[in-house]
Amino acid sequence: MKKIIMLMIGSMLLLSGCGSAETVSQPSVSESMVERSEESSDEETDKMLESMHLAEEKIKELTESEKYRNAEKEKKIEMALQFFEGLKNDGLIEHYDYFEGNEMISYTYLNGALGGISFRDFSEKIDGLAMN
C-alpha cells in the first residue's frame, strides 16, 4: 500500500513539475475518489470540493509562511504534523501519514484525492525526483 501511495505521489510531483522542497503536490484521482463521486449528490460534491479548496489554501498559507520557510527541517516537520492533525480534527482531510524514510507527509482529502508535502530537496537533473 505504501509503495502505491508513494508511486502516486511521485507521479503527481512529476506531472505537476514541482522542483523545490515543501512543495504541495497536485491532487490525484484515485479509485475511491471515483467511487465517491458516483455515490455523492451535487450538494455533497460541492461540500467536498469546498473543503478541499479550503484545505489547499491553509496548506499554502503554512508552506509559504515566513516562520515555516525559515525553520530547520525538523521544525518544519513538527509544524506540519501539528498542522495536519488540525486539518484532520477540523474535518478538512480524512487522514495523513508521515513517511520518515522519504521525509514526506501524504494526506487524503475528503473526496479521496491524494496530496503530499516533501521535506527533501529535489534534483534539477532528475525532473522532480527527490535526491538521496
| Position 47 in a domain | yes
Q: Band of the pLDDT at 64, cuts 50, 70, 90?
A: very high
Total domains, the chain: 1
| Position 33 in a domain | yes
Average pLDDT, the chain: 75
If one compares 44 and 108, the residue with the highest pLDDT of the two is 108
| Position 61 in a domain | yes
| Position 128 in a domain | no
| Position 74 in a domain | yes
| Position 42 in a domain | yes
Q: 120 — alpha (psi -120 to 50), left (phi > 0) or beta? A: beta
Write the pLDDT tens digit of every residue in 75-131: 999 999 999 999 999 999 999 999 999 899 999 998 899 999 999 876 666 555 455
Domain extent for 105 = 28-116
pLDDT for the residue numbered 13? 42
Residue 7 has pLDDT above 50, yes or no: no
Closest CA to 13 of 26, 29, 4: 26
| Position 4 in a domain | no
Q: Which of 34-38, 46-50, 68-72, 84-88 has the lowest mean pLDDT?
A: 34-38
